[in-house]
Chains A and B, each alone.
Chain A
Amino acid sequence: MNHRTKNLMLSIGLLGGVGCLMVWGVLTMLRDVRETVTKPAEQNPYQYDMDALRKTDEAPQAAWREVGAIPLPLDHPKDLALDASGTLYVCGGNEILVVKNGEEAKRIELDEPVRCIDVDKDGKLYAAFSRRVVQLNQQGELEAEWGDLGELAEITAIAAGPALVYVADYGNRRVWKFDKTGQLLEAIDGVNPNGEEQGGFIIPSPYFDLTLDVNGDGVWIVNPGRLRVEHYTPDGERTGHWGKSGWEAEEFCGCCNPTHIVQLPDGSFVTSEKGIERVKHYSKDGAFIGYVAPPESFDSGVTGLALDAGAQGRVYILDPSWKQARIFEEGLAPYID
């Protein structure tokens, strides 16, 4: 074999080797692609079926319908409140957005992220930072700054009544009661003085909401770890509760629900939940009536569906995922596509 033939054979061998390697590479890639494509997540033997939990077929026919939505151009919208005239206030980041007749009317800038807000019958606005509350007039001007609730405080909800302001603090696991001048009166810790249940408020995740009793008789406070809503008199005495843990539509599912609550003018309640994202309607005795918005109304995984109710009983749901205040009304025929 002469030198040229040897070189030629060596080159052919090398080229053949490289070719084989390329073919092997391409085949491996194709196999990987095929395996990836033919192994969809649905075939996961360890699948946890969230959709099975979201089923709504056995729930009573919904009598609520979505009638509108207000866009909320805010960073991380967190809470909303309606005043007696229907003006909507929404906090997010360091701002409070004021919406009149569906249009942005004003933005109020504050020094810290606003966790929650409420507005009283006189139109005074109460905004809570993580550790303290500030009072603003209708023009959004600062009128008063209340005392700091301490290093552990994490305020999650505020409800301003005619004489008292209740502030839910999940860090300290209690509800603080203030008078309208900002004087701290006492705290409700949820511990039953009779001792048949220990633990007071159990708050596994940072959702701890409350709503004023519409008849002026104290406050309804969610005890999320017990999956129920408890009533307290203005003196902080617990007089009753409703709601229970379970997997049915009428029950609260998860380790800690409902995340938000509002009482409607007729005394019935609307609640929102996380995990199974849904908004439900209960009678004033806590009997399940039906869905305001079933799970399919929301993006999967959304949390923080804050609630408020208008004077006519319309329910406003803050949807942080869609960045909207979504408006639902009862008594209309169910919407059919």
Chain B
Amino acid sequence: MSDDSRQPSRRGFLRGALGVGATLALGGLGAATVGQARRREWVWQLDPDICIQCGQCATECVLNPSAVKCVQNYEICGYCDLCFGYFQPGITDLNTGAENLLCPAGAIERVFVEEPYYEYNIDEELCIGCGKCVKPCLAFGNGSFFLQVRHDRCINCNQCSIARKCPSNAYKRVPADKPYLLRGYDPDKVPLKTRRVR
């Protein structure tokens, strides 16, 4: 990543008391460019709580690469040293050689913040929306990685071709001025109110 402005400031990500979704930093997703879609009333979106990461978001979109991307909710990320969405299962040493990385497109960037915390960023130019990183992040981490139709790319087909194939019926029409669906917060879990460290 050449753009230094994307380097997390040590204290920036360490500050606490954030409202759910208030500062969702999904690569600008909170203030996304909805493009053509904004002029229409409804756009397609997938519900990340229903998605089972079947892989078809990568293969069934009319666009290539898909308009579906993995997004990162920095508010709930654990900033883990061993990120299960980043590393292949079974590795014993956290070496960032390509053979140790989970993402088939090399779209996840790992940035050291401070011992022992790392930030994980998605390069949407590379991400193919396969969801491979989403499942282990949800199982082992906090589920901060999840898939979303990115509306600066989606051409808002009358009938989304992924929606037709989605085995879990995760796709729905949502209002164009609220085009993203956050992963729900599990009421069984303690709400995440603070960042990693202060």
A binding-site residues for B, Cβ under 8 Å = 32, 35-36, 39-41, 44-50, 52-53, 76, 78, 115, 130, 151-152, 154, 156, 170-173, 198-199, 202, 204-206, 225, 245-247, 253-256, 274-275, 301, 303-304, 320
Contacts and interface: CB of A to CB of B under 8 A. Distances in A.
Contact residues on B (Cβ < 8 Å of other chain), bracket:
35 or more
Contacts of A304: 188-189
Contacts of A78: 188
Interface string B171-198: 0000000000000001111111110111
Interface of B: 16-17, 52-56, 58, 78-84, 89-90, 92, 102, 104, 115-116, 130-132, 135-136, 138-142, 164-165, 167, 186-194, 196-198
19 contacts: A40-B167, A41-B167, A45-B130, A46-B53, A46-B130, A115-B190, A199-B116, A205-B142, A206-B191, A225-B81, A225-B116, A247-B89, A253-B140, A255-B140, A256-B140, A274-B140, A275-B84, A303-B188, A320-B188
Contacts of B193: 152, 154, 171
B115 A204 contact: no
A76 B193 CA distance: 19
A52 B136 CA distance: 12
Nearest to B134: A48
B115 A198 contact: yes
B49 to A, nearest CB: 12
B194 A154 contact: yes
A199 B14 CA distance: 13
Given A152-B193, A170-B190, A199 B115 contact: yes
A46 B192 contact: no
Nearest to A77: B188
Contacts of A225: 78, 80-81, 116
A171 B135 CA distance: 26
Chain B interface secondary structure, helix, strand, loop or mixed?
loop
For A46, A204, A225, which residue has the most chain B Cβ atoms within 10 angstroms?
A46
Nearest to B52: A41
Chain A interface secondary structure, helix, strand, loop or mixed?
loop
A156 B83 CA distance: 23
B187 A76 contact: yes
B84 A202 contact: no
Nearest to A40: B167
A152 B55 contact: no
Given A53-B89, A247-B90, A255 B83 contact: yes
A152 B198 contact: yes
Contacts of A151: 17
Contacts of B52: 41
Contacts of B140: 253-256, 274-275
Given A46-B132, A115-B190, A199-B116, A255 B55 contact: no
Contacts of B80: 204, 225, 255-256
Nearest to B79: A204
Given A151-B17, A152-B16, A152-B17, A256 B78 contact: yes
Contacts of A254: 84, 139-141
B55 A45 contact: yes
Given A254-B140, A255-B140, A154 B190 contact: yes
A204 B142 contact: yes
